[in-house]
Structures are given as structure tokens and as C-alpha cells.
């Protein structure tokens, strides 16, 4: 289940290395955002990227999905 932007939220606790917390503190100050906001955005981004990765991996493993070279792609695009 991915975050949909709805108002429902659940608190989750995590332990982070001191170095990560220090970087997070610095980033929060620099961006004038809360640590919670930065963590939430980082998790949302990771989940989306991981979903994209899984889709790409599934397509790569699909024997019926044709693969073309970059030269063929350029030619098809007229580049």
C-alpha cells in the first residue's frame, strides 16, 4: 500500500545512526522543513523508484517483450 496523500497517518519509530540524524538535522535546517517531512518525502520517493525498478525488471525478464538497441531506438525516433 502506497501513501495516497490522504490525512490518515500512523506513527512509526525507527533507529538511525548518529551520522544520519546529524545530516537530517542539517538538511531540515537548510530546507526550513521538519525532519518528519524530509523522511516522509524520502520514503515516498524510494517506494516509487522501487516500484519502477520492479516493473523494469519484470519487463526485462519478459521473453515476449522485444528489446531494441539504442541505435534502433534513435532511428525510430528520427534522431
| Longest CA span, the chain | 52
How do residues 16-51 score in pLDDT, each as one tens digit? 999 999 999 999 999 999 999 999 999 999 999 999
- Asked if residue 8 belongs to a domain, the reply is no
Extract the C-alpha cell encoding 41.
Answer: 518525502
Pairwise CA distance, residues 62 & 58, whole Å:
6
Percent of the chain at pLDDT > 90 equals: 71
Task: Look up the domain containing 67 and give its range.
Answer: 18-77
Residue with cell 533507529: 15
- In terms of Cβ atoms closer than 10 Å to its own Cβ (0-12, 13-18, 19+), residue 4 is exposed
- Asked if residue 69 belongs to a domain, the reply is yes
pLDDT attached to residue 60: 85
- CA dihedral angle for residue 57, residue 58, residue 64, residue 70, rounded to 10 degrees: -30
- Asked if residue 3 belongs to a domain, the reply is no
- Asked if residue 70 belongs to a domain, the reply is yes
Amino acid at each position: 500500500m502506497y501513501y495516497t496523500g490522504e490525512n490518515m497517518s500512523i506513527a512509526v519509530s525507527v533507529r538511525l545512526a548518529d551520522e544520519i540524524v546529524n545530516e537530517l538535522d542539517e538538511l531540515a535546517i537548510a530546507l526550513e522543513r521538519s525532519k518528519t517531512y524530509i523522511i516522509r518525502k524520502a520514503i515516498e520517493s524510494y517506494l516509487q523508484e522501487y516500484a519502477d525498478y520492479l516493473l523494469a525488471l519484470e519487463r526485462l525478464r519478459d521473453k515476449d517483450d522485444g528489446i531494441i538497441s539504442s541505435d534502433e531506438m534513435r532511428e525510430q525516433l528520427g534522431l
